[in-house]
Each structure stands twice: as C-alpha cells, then as structure tokens.
Structure 1
Amino acid sequence: MYLDNPEEGERYCGAPTATACSDSFALASLLLEPGHPMTIRCAGSERAERARVLGLKRGEFIVVRPPASSQTIRAARPGAGVDVLLEKEGTVYAFHSEVLSALTHPIPVLFVGYPQDVRSRALRRHVRHKCLLPATAVGAGFTCEGHLSDFSVGGCRIVTSNLPRNGGAALHHGDPLEVRLPVSGLRMETFTGELRSVQQDGDTVALCMSFHEGRSSDLAERFVCELIMVENLRREDSLEAAKNAPPPSSRAHAPLESEALRDATAHVSDGAVVSLTVAQPLELQFTGNHLYDASSVVAVDGAECIIAEMPLTAMGCCPKPGMGLRGRFEKQGSYYGFRTCVLKFVTKPRPLVFFACPKKIEVLKRRLHPRVHCMMPAALEGDMMRVSGYVTDISMGGCRVLANLDGQEGIVNVMSGDTVHLTLPLDGLRVESLKARVKNFTLKENRVSLGLIFQAGKSQLPLLAAFMTRMEAAGV
C-alpha cells in the first residue's frame, strides 16, 4: 500500500485486486496533461495534500505544483520520499518516489523522480477507450446522428449536436437503445442495450448506454481489441519519431521558406488562446544571441509560467531573471512566435529555464484546415492493393490511415503518388468513396501507414465540408 490514509490510498490501491505495472504508455500520456489533479504526501508532512501535474521529462522526473500554503513544499528535501495518487478515466494510479528538487520561486514546484513501478486499479468494470467516429442512435420513436466519444466492452457514449429526430417521449434510464456504427472494414453493426444517462448542454446531447450481454458484448470486445491495437501503433510511431528527432542545434534567425508559406495568413492572437503542450519542440533565442537554439517544453502552469529545457548550446549566455527571450514553434501546420522574459534558471534536476507565458503570440497559419484526431474504420483500394484500416487523423485536405493491421494482405504494394480510393463513413450509416493521392507511406511488419491528400469531386466537397465541421466541433 502506497498511502496509509484509508480514505485515499487503501480505498483505491491497497486492495488485493490492485495490479502492479511497469512504466507504460498509459502513465506517460496521462501525465502529459497539465493541470491534472493528484494527491501527494511527502515524508515529514502531517497529511496528504491536493496538487496539480504540470508536466514531465519522460524517464527522469514529474513536475508537480502543490498548494501555495503547502506543508509539503516546506517539508520537501532532496531525497525525501513522496507518495503520489491520481485518477483519470476510471483508473487510479499510485506510486512511491523521491523529491529531486523543490522551489518556491517563481512558482512553488516539486520535481519528483519518475516512477519505476506503478500500482493501478480500474474503478470501472470495463476500461473506456477514446474514439471519434460517426454513429447513429435509435430509440423508441427517435433517431439521431452523432459521434462516439468513448467505447468499452460494456457500453459507449454517443454525442449528438442535434436533438433526436421524429419527436418521441422524454428519455428515461433503462429505455431500450441501439447504436449503429461502422467497425472493421466498414462493416455496419448494431449494438443493443439500455440507456443509462442523458446529459444536455445547450443543443448538445450525450447519451450513455450499456450493452446487452451476448452478441453486442462480443462485438464490442472485438472492436475494443482493434481500438487498442491502433492506439498502440499510433503511440509507437510517436515515440519512434521522438527517438529519431535531430540533435539540438543552433541556427540563425532566417525567414521561413516562401514556397511553403505562399498561401499562409498571419495574425496576432491572445497568448492564452494558443497553449503550449508538454514535449512540444520549440526554439529559443536569448537577448544578445543571434541564434535560435532547439529546446522542448517540460511543464506548463496555466497563464503564469512555462518550463523548458535549457539548450546546451546556449548555456554560455547564463540567463538572468528579466532577460528577454524569443520563442517559436510549429504546431498543426501553423507557425507561432512570441516574446517573453526569463523568470529563473536552474541546473537541478537538469538545466531548465522558467519563462513567463506570453501575453501575445504571432500566428502564421499555413494549413487552411486543422487536423482532427479520430479512430475511424475505413477501406482503401488502389490498382495494386485492397486493405482495411483506420483513419487516425483527418482534415479537409487529407488524412492519415493505418491499414492492414492483421497482416492478412500478404504484400501491400503502394508508392508515393499513387491514386487510391478511400471509403469511410461521412454521415451516420452512409459511406462515401473519396479519391486521394498517396503523399507518403511507411511499411512495418506488413502494416502500412499512409498520408493521403484528398482529390474529392465537386459533388463531394459540400458533404466533406459538413462532415469536417462536425468533426472539428466534436474534437474540441
């Protein structure tokens, strides 16, 4: 048991049903979300306290912000033990670590060693998996189109931006409900069950349902296995890209390529609107230095402070509080630039620079349409291949597809520039075949990841535009 407080640790992770697990994708992705609440207790403090995750450096430390009047921050000493408990999406995580460093300025913050072993316990019977794909809900006297926001072996949650069609009586707990959606290979399936709750926010209605035992639960179990496979492959690709990233370097301030920005639009936005995320690569330029140096975001504290890795190539500038700082980064096809000032520079647990969150940020928008992460079954057909897979992100201009996940197609013959037809659900139970060109692809163990550029016909453009409007709203 990691926490002796029966109201905290024992209730969650002290029971025999709790499971121990090593460092995994799940914990890393969980802690990458700044602001997530957690409970900590440091050796020497009288009781556990609520705190917030600010970020992490994978494999090294977790950045935690305790309350301003915290006993923990006063009791924390390098090497002191600390117990951590946090919960998200129905799973509780608990681990023991030690304090690496503690600061009170510019913000109270603890650097906690990255855990080697984590105990976890699912509070729900079935783990929920995030997804975003069109679906249709059918009940007594009504039908509505929407999208799934999460899915599990036991049930799902469907969100619709329009109220149920065909009228119908008020919805009640226990009412029969069906959800129809495309699964592997665009095969349409109907899951039957009962309504558990209805949540309405303006014109948005969320229907939570549980599946009936038998055929629906068996179908759900197979679908969940595919969702897990796709999510793991996507995370592996992200880690592989991070490992193969170029080493930190310095480069002079140069104009961006005019060809890539021919149709770009520029504007100045509120700095709070465009938020930096943990592990976001960025470039920093300190006053007096004409070079930009590669860095990455380690932690974000709302509108107060950002912590980034101190570029080793810029260590000679020895940043002091108040020193001017420029930053720039690329995110989802747009370029961002800002000015701010240094708040603090530390060398432990590693060289880090604290700087104020910018009040204004310059945005150079290169991509006309933002990408939306999703998990949408699709079929892909070309002159030399015919495979099924999943669209993992999509925009008005194109998408990324993971295909041939089970390796049933012996050889996937594809080349950049090939013309293919992508069939996917654009509106409830209706599917559409879109012409596309292969921009890039990678093959690994006979699985293929393709970047596609849409070449939709004039008659398909309004349908695609309406679909993306719904997806962008759902993604937010």
Structure 2
Amino acid sequence: MVNTQQEVTQGQAMVEQPVSHELAAVLAGGTRVYVQIRPYEARFEASVLGCVADRYLIFRADGTRGGPPVPPRVGDNIVVRFLVEGVAYGFNSSIMHTISVPEPLIFMQYPATITRVSVRQHQRLPCRLPCVVTGDNGEKETALLLDISEQGAKVACRNPSAGQRSAGMAVGLELALPDPLGIQALIGKIVRITEQGKANVAGVVFDQPYPELLANLYTILCIDQFI
C-alpha cells in the first residue's frame, strides 16, 4: 500500500518505546481501537473497557460495526491500533481470555512496547493507494493517490480523458479503506495538472478539511510498517 518504509518514515517522528503506566491514562474508558487478529488482514472495531497497568487490557467488541473475522481464541496474536489527540498508536499483544455473555469482552496481555507517531507534526502523507476520480460530468476513472493532507491530495491518472481536465474543475475522490472504515468520499477541485511520464498528475484542494481521514490513514499506513 505504501511505496517503501523509507518513504513513509522520512521526516517523521516514529517512536517505539517501553510501555509505562502512562498507557493506562491514554487508554481511557471508551477509547475506540481497531483490532486485527493475526494472520487475518480484516480488522474490527472495539472500545476500551478498562485495564490493569502491566497486567492486562479489556476491550468490548463492537458487534454493530463489524465483528472479528473468526472467534477470538486464547493465545491468538493481535495488533491494536488507535488514535488519541493527534497521536497514532499501535502495539502487539495476545489474547488471555474471552467471554461472550452478557457481552463480548476480550482480555489481552498488557503490551511490552508501543509504537506511536504524531499525526499533527506532518503536512502530507506519501502513499500509493488506488482511488476513483469522478469528474464534473459524472465520468469515473481509476487513479492512484500519490499523497494526501487534510486540505488536498495529489492524484495520478493514465486515462487519456484526464488530459481534458483543467484547473478549477470540480472532482470527487473515492478511497476504499479496510473495514470498518469502508469507502471514503472526498470533494474538491483541481488546482493544477502536470504531465509526469505517461501519467497526468492533478493537484486537488478539498472543499473542506478531512482531519479524521488523514489520522486514520496515518494509523493504517504508518503504524503498519512497524508492528
């Protein structure tokens, strides 16, 4: 999904460090997290119910927004990712215990280390993600998202019709993210078009900022490279 690890991390404050009791404060009750059971790629959403520092964490699975791809089992290796106040976190753990009644709860090992990156420190996120561009005439075409920020994006199109677009034209972008995030729709206008090899690269400014989308992309793309 990303060019190389070097491209993603260049100039970014990615930190892996031992976990202290501060994690208990960050993982406040109700914090939303994304859980991935290895080796499956699918992720499901959960909320933090509580934790005992240096011992275990308790998550409540959100059955209304996509559950686990398989029933969690004791000993399963998992990856947890979440965002708090502009900082994306990720860590590895393993399942210690599960219950299903009166509601699905997952008890997991307190992590030994945690990886984090400050989303607010960075203006643009380099990436290579397929997307769909919709012109003002409703015509759709597949393109490649080259980078994105809260305010805009850079998109490469190889379709000859892309050359007919010009600065000032309205466009829509559709970006497919892993469940439970799904399809993300963005609206903006072209501010410039340049030719790079066989592709036309369009600079797009959004009609409104998308901070939550950018934060989710940092969580998905950057944290994935380190855990």
Query: Larger Cα Rg: Structure 1 or Structure 2?
Result: 1
TM-score, length-scaled by structure 1: 0.24
Bigger relative contact order, structure 1 or 2 (CA pairs below 8 A, ≥6 apart): 2
TM-score, length-scaled by structure 2: 0.45
